[in-house]
Chains A and B, each alone.
Chain A
Amino acid sequence: MIRSLLLLFSVCLFLCVPSCDYIEDPDGNNQPPPVPCSDTPNFTPRIDPIRKVLLEDYTGHRCGNCPNAGTILKDLISANPDQIVGLAIHAQNAGYFTAPKNDGDKFRHDFRNEVSNTLDAEFQIAATGLPKGMVNRKAFNGTKALPPSTWNQAVNTELALEVLADIQLAAEWNETDRSLCVFAFVESRTALPANLKLAVYLAEHKFVNWQADYSVPGEEIENYEHNHILRTAIGPIWGRQVLANNSTNGSNEIQVFSANLSGQSWDISNCSLVAVLYDDQNMEVIQAEEVQVIP
């Protein structure tokens, strides 16, 4: 009996004990060194800021109906100059549509990334099928996942609202060490809720690669120009709290975000910065802004 119990104990010990890694510090120590940023530039509050609307296009390079949605986004930007901020989100949860191919020459680029996946995990858009979009992360007719045919109406609804806050961005790009500093100036134009967050994303444009397109013969385009591709967040994915203590009309604040992009091959001359100011309670966007990294 004692021998059997010893056997039982040793098997249990052998299998169980060395099999748990408790992580005290999830951030880890494997962090790149902080990016040095120069002094904060001066921002002058704008006299007449305009309302800008964020349109997140959940898309995929193997989604044959998605180029049509891209065209709708492009047309909306043309029709409302400087008022629409686009982001193309290639989320892992879209499965086949966003997965890169492992063989052959086509569709090998992986557009997916942690930031896109995290945003999609929160809003669950890709699961509803592509293409879909979110306008200011608000629900219209009961859903945030909007088919492209309804984007125009949702954008017009949002553009008709008053400007609640203004965002100005300035970027400092160091080509030598590929470091990026972003200075964001946020100014409230009315009394705002206390739970505002500001997040900054990097989007790449004019990236030429394969795209499925059911509207063309062969249903594939080799030299498709991908725009607004969400590449990463500069700073936390969900941003930082802003205007926490004072959100009356005219109160403002400057936040500095930085990142080292030395491991990435993105063409910075074709990249823009997208800033999103949103209410952390309901995740709805109240203002957006976009500037080129290199003007």
Chain B
Amino acid sequence: MRNIFFGVLALALTGAMHAQLLSSPGQIHGNVGIDAQYYTNDSLIGAPEVPEKFRMNAFLNLVYTNNNFRAGARYEAYLPGPLLGFDPRFEGQGIPFRYAGYTLGDLDVTAGHFYEQFGNGLILRAYEERALGFDNPLDGFRAKYTLFGGIRLTALVGRQRYFFEMSDGVIKGFDAEASLNQLFPNQDFGKFRLLLGGSFVSRYQGAQEIPNPDDPNKILDIPLNVGSYAGRVNLGYGKFQMNGEFAWKINDPNFTNQFIYRPGNATYLSASYATKGLGITLQGKRVENFDFRSDRNESGNALLLNFIPMLNKQHTYTLPGTIYPYAVQANGELGWQADVNFTTPKWFRGKYSTLINLNFSMVNGLDTTRTGDRQGYTSALFNPGRLYYLDGNLEINQKISKKLKLNLMYMYLWVDRNQTQGLGTSPREIASHIAVADLTWKIAKRHTLRMEVQTLQTAQELDQIGDRVNGSWLMGMIEYSLSPNFFVSVMDQWAYENPVADFQIHYITTTVGYNSGATRIALSYGRQREGIVCIGGVCRQVPASNGLTLSLMSSF
């Protein structure tokens, strides 16, 4: 397969050169990334045994561009298997991403793999998130065409990447987006901006015999073509901006919705106002039976075709970010978020302004009633169901002097851990208070010291005594950097209030790193706590591990 690809690429390049499309030698760019770990046994922290001791995730991206022509490929290797916490189906190596394309005037064509997003991604978002082990590009053909300077059309057909193979399902998609201001550039609309869009995505997957869960002696009549539609509007007036999208999916019985035939829908609304020193955002969403994949039998993060935006703050500090983060529930949730950014005005502050961020978000399930048939359930439009997640937080960034900068954060977090982390349906409610202090001290030119102290305070779950995340936590980190090349840090996370004394563990990690130009290399040694990594509401479980980790990233 790979040989065929490179053969075709060589032929294409040769042909293109003959046709004098490529007037110069062109340019090659790329980047390489290696994450490797030597694992040591550590049963105390619950680290799974790794018989091969060593694992590595690595990739090399190559991109060739020449005028309007482009081609690229990515080689990936997960040897002898992917790092712990990444899907074991990645095991192996190959070229799962390769493409060629060109732009000719208003037309742009890509053959091979490509990433794409329609609108907010409610019915299509093919993207890569390396930290999650998430990569779902489409492999096929895509054409983009711009009409009258303001209407952008995208049409595509392809199969989705499935580790080193392709999905069973074939995806067709079409998107049209029109910008009023670009369509009529000579017209004076004042401060008014308008963008309208509509999209359609369909999955074809062959027939299979799936027993009716209501009566396994009967075979379900499965829809082979599942279509979804979405319409969106983006309105702006001066400092106000509003973005709304509504999406609909026809009957899509699949593994994640327990093969029910109820159509799905998703609504997303966002309004914001921004002026000097003040930014306000209000967002809301309602999602019902909207897990859309290129294979009706898949679950987890595999072959996800759409993306439901997360309406919660993406916390970057360790304890708020990785102990109880929120994973989007694509088959039913009702959520909203308010976010205010504020910079203290001159008349109020001292020498340095204060940046304040106030954020509140809340997610509930839907209020549903079972119908007892294959339609699954009925739902109330706005009535919230069981509470899944609530996060209220305040963050203050203050520069104290030329050499000192302080960030403070307080957060109240309430979470139904079972529901949000896919651990079960029975409620497991955890309320916690989290506080973070982050001080940066510029000791001298090029020498910086950064210190973090974090704590998560919550009641012990005495009925979950086997859980190493149970109870309150303390975390401390100190990092010294000699810019622009060198840094070293030591971090300790301490489960000091776990109900089991043996699990009151110090997770200590030391990291040394070196930056040179576009290359960064880091070595870490120590314990990695079990947890969950979420980016944009898509999550990956990370098991505990202990050992030496090498991370290298370089681009050229």
Contact = CB atoms under 8 A, between A and B. Distances in A.
B261 A26 contact: yes
Given A22-B250, A121-B258, A30 B227 contact: no
A16 B227 contact: yes
Contacts of A29: 221
B223 A23 contact: yes
Contact of A123 (B221, B225, B300, B424): B424
B176 interface: yes
Nearest to A34: B217
B361 interface: no
A258 B204 CA distance: 34
B426 A143 contact: yes
Contacts of B204: 19
Interface string A142-183: 111101000000000000000000000000000000000000
A142 B426 contact: yes
From A18, A142, A145, residue with most partner B Cβ within 10 Å: A142
Contact of A12 (B174, B225, B227, B250): B174
Interface string B452-469: 000000000101101000
B176 A8 contact: yes
Contacts of B256: 121
A31 B215 CA distance: 10
B332 to A, nearest CB: 13
A19 B172 contact: yes
Contact of B464 (A1, A11, A118, A142): A142
A125 B463 CA distance: 17
Interface stretch (A74-82, A230-238, A270-278, A287-295): A230-238
Contacts of A122: 258, 425
A260 B215 CA distance: 12
Interface in A1-56: 1, 4, 8, 11-12, 15-16, 18-23, 25-32
Contact of B219 (A21, A30, A232): A30
B220 interface: yes
A12 B176 contact: yes
A139 interface: yes
A93 B225 contact: no
B431 interface: no
Contacts of B155: 11, 15
A96 interface: yes
A237 B374 CA distance: 12
B17 to A, nearest CB: 31
A127 B421 CA distance: 9
Nearest to B422: A127
Nearest to A121: B258
A223 interface: no
Contacts of A259: 216-217
Nearest to B258: A121
Interface in B200-228: 200, 202, 204, 210-227
Nearest to A20: B227
B283 interface: no
A121 B213 CA distance: 11
B88 A96 contact: yes
A118 B258 contact: yes
Interface string A92-124: 110110000000000000000111011001111
A124 B213 contact: no
Interface in B406-432: 418, 422-426, 428
Contacts of A4: 147-148
Nearest to B173: A15
Interface residues of A, number: 53
Contacts of A121: 255-256, 258
B174 A16 contact: yes
Interface in B93-110: none
A11 B489 CA distance: 56
B508 interface: no
B463 A27 contact: no
Interface residues of B, number: 54
B221 A93 contact: no
B57 interface: no
B134 to A, nearest CB: 17
A141 interface: yes
A132 B200 CA distance: 42
A11 B226 CA distance: 19
A142 B463 contact: yes
Interface string A171-207: 0000000000000000000000000000000000000
B226 A21 contact: yes
A142 to B, nearest CB: 5
Given A23-B251, A236-B214, A30 B424 contact: no
B379 interface: no
A32 to B, nearest CB: 6
Contacts of B374: 26-27
Contacts of B259: 118
B253 interface: yes
Interface string A58-81: 000000000000000000000000
B424 A127 contact: yes
A124 B426 CA distance: 9
28 contacts: A4-B148, A8-B147, A8-B153, A11-B155, A12-B176, A15-B174, A20-B227, A20-B250, A22-B251, A23-B251, A25-B221, A26-B251, A27-B214, A27-B215, A27-B218, A95-B300, A118-B213, A118-B259, A124-B422, A124-B423, A124-B425, A142-B464, A143-B418, A143-B463, A144-B424, A237-B216, A259-B216, A260-B217
Given A26-B221, A114-B210, A115-B211, 20 more contacts: A8-B151, A8-B176, A16-B227, A19-B227, A20-B223, A20-B225, A21-B251, A23-B223, A23-B261, A27-B214, A28-B212, A31-B219, A118-B213, A122-B258, A127-B422, A128-B423, A142-B426, A143-B428, A232-B216, A236-B214
Interface of A: 1, 4, 8, 11-12, 15-16, 18-23, 25-32, 92-93, 95-96, 113-115, 117-118, 121-125, 127-128, 139, 141-145, 147, 232-233, 235-238, 258-260
The 6 A-B pairs of least Cβ separation, nearest first, read A28-B221, A141-B463, A19-B202, A21-B223, A20-B227, A26-B374
Interface of B: 88, 147-148, 151, 153, 155, 157, 172-174, 176, 200, 202, 204, 210-227, 250-251, 253, 255-256, 258-259, 261, 299-300, 374, 418, 422-426, 428, 461, 463-464, 466
